[in-house]
Amino acid sequence: MRDLRVTLVQSMQHWENAAANRSLFAGKLEGLKGATDLIVLPELWTTGFSMNAALAETMGGETVRWMKEQASRTDAAIYGSVIIAEGGKTFNRGLFVIPDGSVTHYDKRHLFRFANETDHFNAGSKRVVVEWRDWRILLQVCFDLRFPVFSRNKGDYDAALYVANWPEARRYPWSQLLIARAIENQCYVVGVNRVGMDGKGIHYTGDSVAIDPKGEVMASCGSATDCITHTVCDAAALEDFRAKFPVGMETDDFDLKI
C-alpha cells in the first residue's frame, strides 16, 4: 500500500445554484493536476444544505459529468455529496468518482431530522467502502459522524471521509467526534465542511481537518475562510501502528441491522 495524497477543499457555496457552484469549484481545482490522489468537497456542494428536492439531478446529469471530467483532468478521485433522484426516490448521495469515469455512491444513512431532511430525502441502506490506489475508504456524510456503530471498523477500511454542512453552533462536537472516529477505528479521518452563510441564514465555520490514527491533526483549514489544504496519509505508519497496538483484536463482535 502506497501513501495517499489528500486535498481538502473548504468553501462557501452558492445557494441552490449548481451551475455557479460547479464554476466555483472548477476554479479551486484548477491547479491540482497530478498533485493529489483524492479531492474531498463538502456535503451538497452544488446547492448548500437545501431541502428542495426539485433541485435533484440524475446520475447522468451535469454534475456527475462535471465530476468525471475533473477526476480525469486531475488524475484524482473526487468525493462530495449531491442531491440525486433515482428510482422515484431522492437522496443526499455521496459520489466517489475516479479518473476512468467510474462512480461509487453512498446514500446518506443518518438524515438530519432536525432540519426536516427526513421529510425530503430517502435514507440510504448500505455501508459503503470503496478501494482506491490500494486504500480502502469508508464513505460518510455529515450527521453519520454522530453514529459510531455505523462506522465501526471491522478491519475493512483504512480511511474515513466525512463531508458536511455542519453549522457553527455545533462546531465543538464536529471537531471532537472526528478525532474520536480516528482513534477508535485506528484509521485516517478526513472531514470537509463548508464556510459562510447559507440561504436559511445558518452560519458555517468550516474547521475542515485531516486526522491520523492516533488522533493527531495532520492538516486543518481553521474557521471562517475558504481554504484548500493538503496532507499525506502514511501507509507504513498506519500498518506499523496497527501491528504494534492491535486494539481491533479485542473489538466486540456485532451485526449491524439497517
Q: Which residues pair with 130 in a beta bridge?
A: 137
132 within a domain of the structure (yes/no) = yes
Q: Which of 142, 187, 227, 233 is catalytic?
A: 142
257 within a domain of the structure (yes/no) = no
Q: How confident is the model at residue 14, as a pLDDT?
A: 98
Q: Is the pLDDT of residue 85 over 90?
A: yes
For residue 74, the domain's CATH number is 3.60.110.10
Give the model confidence (pLDDT) of 170-179 as tens digits: 999 999 999 9
**Per-residue b/e over 127-145, b at no fewer than 16 CB within 10 Å?**
bbbbebbebbbbbbbbbbb
**Among this protein's residues, is 142 annotated catalytic?**
yes
258 within a domain of the structure (yes/no) = no
Q: How many domains does the chain have?
A: 1
256 within a domain of the structure (yes/no) = no
Q: Is the pLDDT of residue 254 over 90?
A: no
Q: Checking DSSP bridges between strand 188-193 and strand 159-164, what pairing results, if any?
A: parallel
Helix (H, G, I), strand (E, B) or coil at 130: strand
Q: Which of 16, 43, 57, 117 is catalytic?
A: 43
35 within a domain of the structure (yes/no) = yes
**Among this protein's residues, is 108 annotated catalytic?**
yes
Q: How confident is the model at residue 257, as a pLDDT?
A: 82
255 within a domain of the structure (yes/no) = no
Q: Is the pLDDT of residue 248 over 90?
A: no
**Among this protein's residues, is 86 annotated catalytic?**
no
Q: Which of 108, 187, 221, 227 is catalytic?
A: 108
Helix (H, G, I), strand (E, B) or coil at 222: strand
Task: State mean pLDDT over 104-127.
Answer: 97
234 within a domain of the structure (yes/no) = yes
Give the residue carrying C-alpha cell 467510474.
102
Q: How confident is the model at residue 250, as a pLDDT?
A: 85
pTM exceeds 0.95 for this model:
yes
Residue 249, phi then psi, degrees to nearest 5: -65, -20
Q: How confident is the model at residue 171, as a pLDDT?
A: 97
Q: How confident is the model at residue 252, as a pLDDT?
A: 87
Mean pLDDT of all residues belonging to the chain: 97
What band does 256 get if pLDDT is binned at 50, 70 and 90?
confident
What band does 255 get if pLDDT is binned at 50, 70 and 90?
confident
Print the domain residue range for 92: 4-250
